[in-house]
Chains A and B, each alone.
Chain A
């Protein structure tokens, strides 16, 4: 490293402040900063800005939804684990369910930290409950969300296993549920008529944001506008629903 303080690169000074130099370079810059006021000033400026950035994000706005913490095993949880284990360790017909049980177990491992409703694991083995999350106004993605919902619901009728599907749209994805922008309004009406267990959620926050921009938002009839996407997804996660971004 050069000992000419004018040629000290900003990158080296940054690395000094961030503690990302080897001891040799560190000592050399430290010595230079003691000998040259200009080096000390440059270092001080970087340090101050680093402190400012840290300070600016010390207290950040929290999402409205809180995430409760797990409080250890309950009898229900242990029962659910045993049930999943039994499903997973069986043979013959049960073996066919093994993959599904494993998937359920994976989801459960995550959900157990945000829910105490362990019974959801057992219910999942029979009832499919899924939230499809749409954040894009890409017509292909809009169609994909509707296709996926229909596939699950039609399949559930076929297999005589109940299924519940929710499509939650926010951000640009809200366009799917706006009467003035949706390319699929007719299909949505058909799906609603055919599948009572299909729920459609338009994010209240996304609607509010558009309204704040002076845009009149006309939502397709039958689409729920009572909660934000985040709230809804969190609630459904707590209840053991699967989550699938489209």
Chain B
């Protein structure tokens, strides 16, 4: 393969990576709920993707491959953090909340809080399925776990979420707005 073909392929990949940035950022944000950390994780993910692009065998699986890298970056971050601080002690929403919140903002806050308190594995599965519409097989590939584990983690995540939303401090507002949500047909 000549150098121009390589350039052409790399250019194509860089375009695809760029188009995936927002998607990756949303996933990263839903995992960590910190805009700066999410941006760092995406930056690292894209850097590693470019550096290791030869490892991508199937271009159709680019999104799963990127999620795999993102997940590894996040695990690395957690490992480095584990000895340093208790993440539960950090108010992850402190920089984006105001005193006066609309009903919708309160609901958003309640859901994000509940998601943030899920164990990491459950949080990852839930967000990939619910936000990005990954199939169970795709999640299994992205997170390198069996499909049965995907299903059980998703099930536990949704049950926990349901319970938290039912009895949390935001119950009233959740119930009020829940009625406004049109069920999926």
Given A63-B35, A63-B36, A110-B17, A48 and B178 contact (CB-CB distance below 8 Å): yes
Q: Is the CB of B112 within 8 A of A56?
A: yes
Task: Report, as a range, how many residues of chain B touch the other chain.
Answer: 35 or more
B155 and A14 contacting across the interface, CB-CB below 8 Å: yes
Q: Are A67 and B21 in contact (CB under 8 A)?
A: yes
Pick from B15, B51, B162: contact of A106, CB under 8 Å: B51
Size of the A side of the interface (Cβ < 8 Å), in residues, is 60
A43 to chain B, nearest CB (A): 9
Q: Chain B 1-24, CB within 8 Å of chain A: the 1/0 string?
A: 001101100110111011001000
- B108 & A69 in contact (Cβ 8 Å cutoff): no
Bound: A109/B128 CA distance, A: 28
Interface window among A130-138, A146-154, A216-224: A130-138
Q: Is the CB of A10 within 8 A of B155?
A: yes
Q: Determine whether the beta carbon of B29 is less than 8 Å from that of A57.
A: yes
Distance from A200 Cβ to chain B, minimum over Cβ atoms (Å): 18
Q: Which residues of A contact B159 (CB under 8 A)?
A: 10
A53 touches B80 (CB 8 A): no
Chain A binding site: helix, strand, loop or mixed by DSSP? helix
In the assembled complex, the Cα of A211 lies from the Cα of B107 at a distance in Å of: 30
B15 neighbours in A (Cβ, 8 Å): 70, 113
Within 8 A of A (CB), among B53-92: 53, 77, 80-81, 83-85
Cα-based distance from A57 to B141 in the complex (angstroms): 23
Which of B14, B30, B46, B182 has the most chain A CB within a 10 Å cutoff? B14
| B136 x A18 contact (CB < 8 A) | yes
Question: Which chain A residues lie closer than 8 Å to B53 at the CB level?
Answer: 106
- Nearest to B174 among chain A residues (CB) is A52
Q: Which residues of B contact A107 (CB under 8 A)?
A: 50
State the CA gap A81–B11 with chains docked (Å).
Answer: 11
CB-based contact A57/B131 at 8 Å = yes
Contact between B47 and A110 (Cβ–Cβ < 8 Å)? yes
A57 to B39, Cβ gap below 8 A?
A: no
Given A53-B161, A57-B29, decide whether A70 and B18 contact each other with a Cβ distance below 8 A.
yes
Residues A57 and B112 in contact, CB atoms below 8 Å apart:
yes
Q: A10-B155, A106-B10, A109-B11 are in contact. Are A136 and B80 (CB under 8 A)?
A: yes
